[in-house]
Amino acid sequence: MTKRTPNDKLCVLVAESGWTYEALAKAVRAVAAECGVTLRTNKSTVEHWIAGARPQADTGRYLAVALSRRVNRILTPADLGLAAVGEEGHDSIGLTLGADPLDSLIPMWRYELDRRRFITTSAYSVAAAALPLSYVSDIAARTAAARTGQTIGMAEVAAVRDMITAFSEMDERHGGQHGRSALVTYLRDDVAPLCRGRFRSDEVRRHMLSAASRGVHLLGWKSYDAGQQGLAQRYYLQSYALATESGITGHDGFVMRTMAMQGLKLHRPEHCQGLAETGLNRAKGKVDAQTEALFRVVHAHTLAKTGLRQAALAEADQARVLLDAAPGDDVPFWALAWGPPAASVYSRTAKVYETLGDHRAAADEYARAAATRPVGTYARIVALDLVAGAEMLLKRGSIEQACSTWGQAMDHMDGVRSVRTRKAVKNMRGDLAPFRTRGLRCAAELDERAIDFLASV
């Protein structure tokens, strides 16, 4: 029998964490659950790892994430003495902010197209979420990077924007799983070379990098919609780096806003207020009123999450004032990631009210958000706003109205391939279960429809 060698690296890190083996096992199970995996890790399992046994499948990566969160720095399986030969460094791809974001993105795209599990099942990193708060980019001029080839002008920037817009509209109509490989290929084969090309002016270069950032941001959104939160975070970080390099006022803050939203959704609030507030400060008074409203309403949500009720309501009110003040302003390309700013402000305001326990106001705002978006283009997000509104109605005791709103939501889900819509329908079935048991007809009919929907996607 081969004698195991105790894992000293892991032993030291577990001691640093201050966790008992039982507490560590619980944390590993929680990280795995975020990635859609159910583990039975327990105290004895951790003891075996310390003694030299190797975690199976992706468990070593979940262990690294759990310890990273505890000691507040990024750890990889290699740091825990667990990396397989040839895999060192893979788990940190995309979790740093370097001089050139493409140096991180190109291998990420290669691994994604090769269907490498370690990147598509990556867990969310709390330590990495803080990177934009302290990131200072020392960027060499791109114009010095390429002395040959085509000179790139605004026509090429416009073409990239048009293509990213087409991918974005496809994403909203059909869900994040549609067109994802095509988007990766387009960014890798067409946009990345343009970003390293020779530009007619520095202004053209800035807008090209900003357009590329929006494309990478969309990949993050697609990953988020697929339930791949760690991969989404990596794409958001690199989108942020491209936006920072572009120097376009407000764009880097907008990606910080997105990262704050992701942290709130995952119940990882550690850096959300800092991200939202810093993002707002980078845009406040420097962008149009509608765009500033987008920043303020997310900041309001982070304030609500930290229990600052009056400050949250005041900030949400300010967002609405800005929205109403200049409805005709031109909104920058990068700020249109989720369509009309008004709908985004209404939807996020609903989340502020929901967090504060005002279910009536939340239901009204979710309904307003759904009604404001062009349904044909934004099927998925309209459906999810209606689902959220139905949940608020249920909490108020309006079961018939909730069923009606859920039914409207499902009307918009046909043809949408999205982990989030599927999860929403599963949750709906759970919420309806007590009412089906009581024989409520609308609940039974809606449940039958939900069963058919889940069987078809």
Residue 42 contacts residue 25 (beta carbons within 8 Å): yes
pLDDT of residue 71: 83
pLDDT tens digit string along 44-82? 999 999 999 989 877 887 898 888 878 877 677 888 988
pLDDT of residue 147: 33
Q: Which two tokens stand for residue 323?
A: 């929205």
> What are the residue ranges spanned by the domains of the chain?
8-92, 98-248
* CA separation for the pair 50, 10 (Å, rounded): 6
Q: Which residues of the chain have pLDDT under 70?
A: 1-3, 35-36, 74, 83-92, 95, 99, 114-131, 133-150, 327-329, 457
pLDDT of residue 282: 93
pLDDT of residue 451: 94
pLDDT of residue 356: 97
pLDDT of residue 216: 95
pLDDT tens digit string along 306-349? 999 999 999 999 999 999 887 666 899 999 888 889 999 999 99
pLDDT of residue 30: 86
Single out the residue of 19, 18, 270 nearest to residue 128, CA to CA.
Answer: 270
Would you say the C-alpha torsion 304, 306, 310, 312 has a positive or negative sign?
negative
